[in-house]
Amino acid sequence: MTPQQLLFYCRPGFESDLAGEIVAKASALGWQGYPLAQPQAGHVAFVLTEERPANALHRALPLESLVFARQSLVALEPLEALSRDDRLSPIIEQVVASGWSFESLWQETPDTNDAKALSGLIKALQRPLESMLKKRGALRRKAGGRRLHLLWTDGDRVQLGMSFPGNRSEQPGGIRRLRFPHDAPSRSTLKLEEAWHEFVPRDQWETRLSEGMQAADLGAAPGGWTWQLVKRGMQVYAIDNGPMDRGLMATGLVEHLREDGFVWAPPMRLDWLVCDIVDKPARVIDMVERWLVKRWCREAVFNLKLPMKRRWEAVSEGLARLDRSLSEARVDAEIACRHLYHDREEVTVHVRLFN
């Protein structure tokens, strides 16, 4: 049984954006297929229309290169109309027929309220499934780190997928859940914390997010993102006409400048630029492009607010434009963009300069 589908998780409401992204990127790689996407479903399947195995396309489309996908799986055909009296047998038989073995089993649902109601069923099935898979040799200790995923969308419908180390999210459902710090000025602080987890390897935090670095936060008030910078011991230029949190100002690490973030220029090269200004994506890219071309910072994290329609097109066009500008200015840079869990109607972009 050769897998002929890829399965992606996403935030509900962004299925068409993810589908458009997958179709565009698969086509650019020479792959033909069509998406299966229902509004508010929280997942998208991409069905191949050629005989090549889906594993090859999965490797060519690493999860970290996708904007709207939370998780990326090689998938089998959905199992539908499962009997309440025996849900397990069809699942076991499909796994065995696939010829694959796995080291672990994750049962998941889309990030929707209706799907979350299936948590009781999933919990009840976990041990019996693991036991039966072990007996059939499909679940064992050494299986190349492969993981079996069961995406339940209803009590009688499940789709089986497999993930591979280095090309998957290690978070259930592809969701990184962070605890809100009680002393942070706003919940937006979680956006920057998640961005660091996403874009900066944990073993590099001590060198790339270290005490004594200098940063600018454009559109800082009341200080949700500044709080993350100060927490790492950085000195921060907080640029905003609005008031900053008193606790942050008391740290002595923040210089609050009541200026326009779109025109302010730093007095020296900084380690970090962060920006969560609510404005048109094109205007934010113009501003960040100026910072990067002039090499005013070494790394940047900024959010782009999304339009109501054609969101994938807006993001792809903006990123392509930024990439062209940096190339023309001979700025050696790495650009990444993700729709993070703590984002809503925006995406988060990270740029790292190497010269």
Residue 145 tokens read as 């780190």
- Do the bridges between strand 270-275 and strand 297-305 make them parallel or antiparallel, or are there none, so unpaired? parallel
Nearest in space to 19 (alpha carbons), one of 63, 93, 69 = 69
CA 326, CA 320: separation in Å to the nearest integer?
10
Residue 305 appears among annotated catalytic residues: yes
In three-state form (DSSP H/G/I as H, E/B as E, the rest C), the secondary structure along the chain is CCCCEEEEECCCCCHHHHHHHHHHHHHHCCCCEEEEECCCCCEEEEEECCCCCHHHHHHHCCHHHCCCCCEEEEECCCECCCECCECHHHHHHHHHHHCCCECEEEEECCCCHHHHCCHHHHHHHHHHHHHHHHHCCCECCCCCCCEEEEEEEECCEEEEEEECCCCCCCCHHHCCCCCCCCCCCCCCHHHHHHHHHHHCCHHHHHHHCCCCCEEEEECCCCCHHHHHHHHCCCEEEEECCCCCCHHHHCCCCEEEECCCCCCCCCCCCEEEEEECCCCCHHHHHHHHHHHHHCCCEEEEEEEEECCCCCHHHHHHHHHHHHHHHHHHCCCCEEEEEECCCCCCCEEEEEEEECC
CA 18, CA 345: separation in Å to the nearest integer?
14
Residue with tokens 């041990």: 127
> Exactly one of 25, 134, 280, 305 is catalytic; which is it?
305
CA 122, CA 88: separation in Å to the nearest integer?
11
Single-letter residue type at 89: S
Known catalytic residues? Answer: 305
